[in-house]
Chain A
Amino acid sequence: MSTTVVSRSERPPAPAGTGTRRLTERVFRIRESGIIVVLAVFVAVTASIQPRFLNITNIQFILVNTTVFALLALGETMVVISRNYDLSVGSVLGLSAYLSASLFGQHHGIPIVVVFLTGLGIGLACGMLNGIMVAAGRVPSLVVTLATLYIFRGIDILIVGGKEVVANSLPAAFLNIPKATVFGIPDLAIAIAVVIAIGAYYLRSFRSGRELYAMGSNPEAARLAGIAVGRRVFMAFTVSGAIAGVAGVLWAAQYGTIDSTAGTGYELQVISAVVVGGVAIFGGSGSAVGAALGALLLNTISSALYVLGISPFWDQAIWGFLLLLAIALDRFISVRLTAALRVRGARHE
């Protein structure tokens, strides 16, 4: 039997404690630094074959492209950590992108802030709808958001029809948002990095954030511990929806041309990024920073393959491979960690 706890007349706990803690922390650090290592290897290999990969324009391109995904990944991380899934983010993005960008054509001179708020509002409404059905209706989130994936996309198609918003109907100030840079770093990337940092800090250091982890770690225990499970789930979906709404406006600014297919299939890409970034698919562990790094890695790979002139077919194959690798790695870490903690416990008897 493994027993860390031994009766009174015992050695001080210090060596045991720090040892275990160091091990645990090391594993978590490894999980995120692992992505950075893979990223670095990928960049180095690509750059050695095609130096053009590392020029400033391409790096800016990758960073800007990542922003939308990294943002979506933040919302998705909150949902996945609580052992739920939000499959509707791509459709919310599409709906928000079209509706907000089309405002420029309908009301000339409308402030850009209002457009962003519109996107936020649309996302918020969609997220709340998901949240209510999951939290109050007690329907599994996989089913709810699969349904809303089609519903939101359907509404999008109904509104857009065959039309599209074209770049020259959008003000230059709006289209320039993704292009602005400070010391060569896109403003947008900095802003998103700050948002992700805030999100990560919230998940780490606030009660409601920790409760999301608790719910994902052991849903039944969370209920018994008196955590307002429904309210937290609702909150996570609302935030995820709101983020997808804002991401939709950014998407519109980035691409300029928006039809009813905007954001199709993004939900699975985002979940891939989250899982590659080390968030456990059944909740309970992972970080927002890891998820953002996962998004960056996947986007870098796409870009590298493009620069190297490799068929985009490989793009998807490599994403799939990385996903398997990430899941295998998580499984490996979890088994080894459990074993290590057991051994450490037993050794102290």
Chain B
Amino acid sequence: MKILAGVYQPDAGALLVDGREVTLHGPAMARAAGIAVIYQEPALFPDLTVAENMFIGRQPLSSGRRIDRRVMRTEAATIFGRLGVQLDPARIARGLSIADQQVVEIGKAISLEARVIVMDEPTAALSAAEVDRLFDVVRTLRAAGTAVLFISHRLEEVFALCQRVTVMRDGKQVLTRELAGLVAGDLVRAMVGRELAERPAEEHGTPGEPLLTVERLTREGVFTDISFTVRTGEIVALAGLVGSGRSEVARAIFGIDKYDAGTVTVRGSRLRRGSPTGAMAAGVGFVPEDRRQQGLVMDMSVQQNVALASLRRLRRAGLIRSAAERRLAADWAARLKIKYGRLKDPVSMLSGGNQQKVVLAKWLGRKPAVLIVDEPTRGIDVATKAEVHHLLIQLARDGVGVLMISSELPEVLRISDRILVMREGRLMAELAHADASEEEILSAATGQAPSQEPPEASEAPARGAGK
């Protein structure tokens, strides 16, 4: 995708536009060739106006090469009109929602008369209503003769919007076909290369001793009266809409945020409020939602990141033994099948999925009794997703208690033993694996009878796996 944008150059192969081979030496040449790329998180200029963001470098000029702001705003308004959206061209971009930022980027592409628009995971951070609007915009574009390359992990969107599909796995093209006649399972098989993990039925319903007990946990205005237990060998899912307070509960348990009332107990001993160190000492591990900001030190090497939570074990006379650090990292990298160049490479060079594995390795290196994972598979490719699922199931089999926050209902249904559903800071339902269904989770999460809208909106978008 970066090659299409002109950011990277291909090592081999040719790129044809209108049947003619082109070489893109930079973003400007890609633009000239009629290719526009819309990134997952659009990179706008927050201090400039919406219109200026669309026309930067090509602002309409009046006499003396001065920028004609009035014409610029009118043109922007015209484009928004054609797209059927409402956005003020004269406001500054700061404070726009991700959805609106994407519209600005699409508007820019149209103003460039782009004939090919590449969209990278555009829906990852959008609410259901915003996705609908985006799809309307894309259909408008298509009707006007623009070709759209839509990159997505969400198969239902692919089927709803696209006509032809190409599946890539590990940097290789594995399938290119008309979508008509295909079903979701075909694509999943092509993406994973094998069937998805399904927990054998006999695995469920044999929980052991209570490991993590949360009682009447309350944080004013955030969540209220949360009580639940995670037992050994159990995967408990915490489901609910974004903003229902799931991540906040997890953060409070691990001690990142303080809570106002209630207790958290691990194996009978009470955890101190607001102390991650105490939680770690008690055997709790926490894989946060945003791995780039919270889970990893992006500039540090793979091995340093893996070792980060185990430094006490790796040191001698106060110094970290780098040989021990490397051994630990190499061991976990092999076990989790992390794909990396060298252990000394900065972790930022890995793909999203492999970065997530590094975060997991960091905690597994401590042999946690309880592992809290927040959106463990967001923004990672399907194959790695399946591996993460296998890993969580394996951990539970080994007696670890797993608390998993997830917005993906299929994931929740597939691997968890019990499902807790939160709504507006309260625990609304507890469902056993056997009698849980998407409809039931949704109705508990939304507080109404099952509706059409999937709770897939997300607040902090994670960047997708590198393509």
Q: How far is the CB of A140 from chain B (nearest CB, A)?
A: 16
Number of interface residues of B (CB under 8 A): 45
Partner of A224, one of B43, B61, B80, B133: B43
CA distance A10 to B84 in the complex (A): 9
- Which residues of the other chain, A, contact B89 by a CB distance below 8 angstroms? 17
B314 at the interface (CB under 8 A from A): no
Cβ-defined contact, A210 with B52, below 8 A: yes
Interface on A for B, CB 8 Å cutoff? 1-8, 10, 13, 16-17, 20-21, 24, 205-207, 210-211, 213-214, 216-218, 220-227, 280, 284-285, 334, 337-342, 345, 348
CA distance A341 to B44 in the complex (A): 16
Cβ-defined contact, B97 with A1, below 8 A: yes
Cβ-defined contact, B47 with A216, below 8 A: yes
Instruction: Please name 18 pairs of A and B residues whose Cβ atoms are closer than 8 Å in the assembled complex, sorted by A.
Output: A1-B130, A3-B99, A5-B87, A7-B133, A10-B86, A16-B88, A205-B66, A210-B52, A213-B45, A213-B47, A214-B52, A214-B56, A217-B46, A223-B27, A224-B5, A225-B27, A341-B96, A345-B95
Q: Which residue of B lies closest to A201 (CB)?
A: B66
Cβ-defined contact, B67 with A225, below 8 A: no
Q: How far is the CB of B181 from chain A (nearest CB, A)?
A: 31
Cβ-defined contact, A345 with B100, below 8 A: yes
Q: How far is the CB of B126 from chain A (nearest CB, A)?
A: 8
- Which residues of the other chain, A, contact B132 by a CB distance below 8 angstroms? 7
Given contacts A5-B100, A345-B100, are A13 and B88 in contact (CB under 8 A)?
Answer: yes
CA distance A3 to B130 in the complex (A): 8
Cβ-defined contact, B133 with A214, below 8 A: no
B263 at the interface (CB under 8 A from A): no
Interface on B for A, CB 8 Å cutoff? 5, 7, 26-28, 31, 43-48, 52, 56-57, 59, 61, 65-67, 77, 80, 84-92, 94-97, 99-100, 103, 127, 129-130, 132-133, 136, 457
CA distance A66 to B77 in the complex (A): 43
CA distance A120 to B132 in the complex (A): 59
- Which residues of the other chain, A, contact B77 by a CB distance below 8 angstroms? 13
Partner of B45, one of A16, A20, A218, A348: A218
- Which residues of the other chain, B, contact A338 by a CB distance below 8 angstroms? 94-95
- Which residues of the other chain, B, contact A285 by a CB distance below 8 angstroms? 47
Q: Which residue of A lies closest to B90 (CB)?
A: A21
Q: Which residue of A lies closest to B457 (CB)?
A: A1
Report, nearest first, the 8 A-B pairs whose CB atoms are least far apart: A341-B95, A221-B43, A226-B28, A17-B88, A284-B47, A217-B45, A5-B85, A217-B47
Q: Of A3, A13, A210, A213, which is in contact with the most chain B CB atoms at under 10 Å from its CB? A: A3
CA distance A224 to B88 in the complex (A): 24
Not counting A280-B47, A345-B97, a sample of 13 additional A-B residue pairs whose C-beta atoms are within 8 angstroms of each other reads A4-B97, A5-B86, A7-B85, A21-B91, A207-B61, A213-B45, A217-B45, A217-B47, A224-B5, A224-B43, A341-B91, A345-B95, A348-B86
Cβ-defined contact, A210 with B91, below 8 A: no
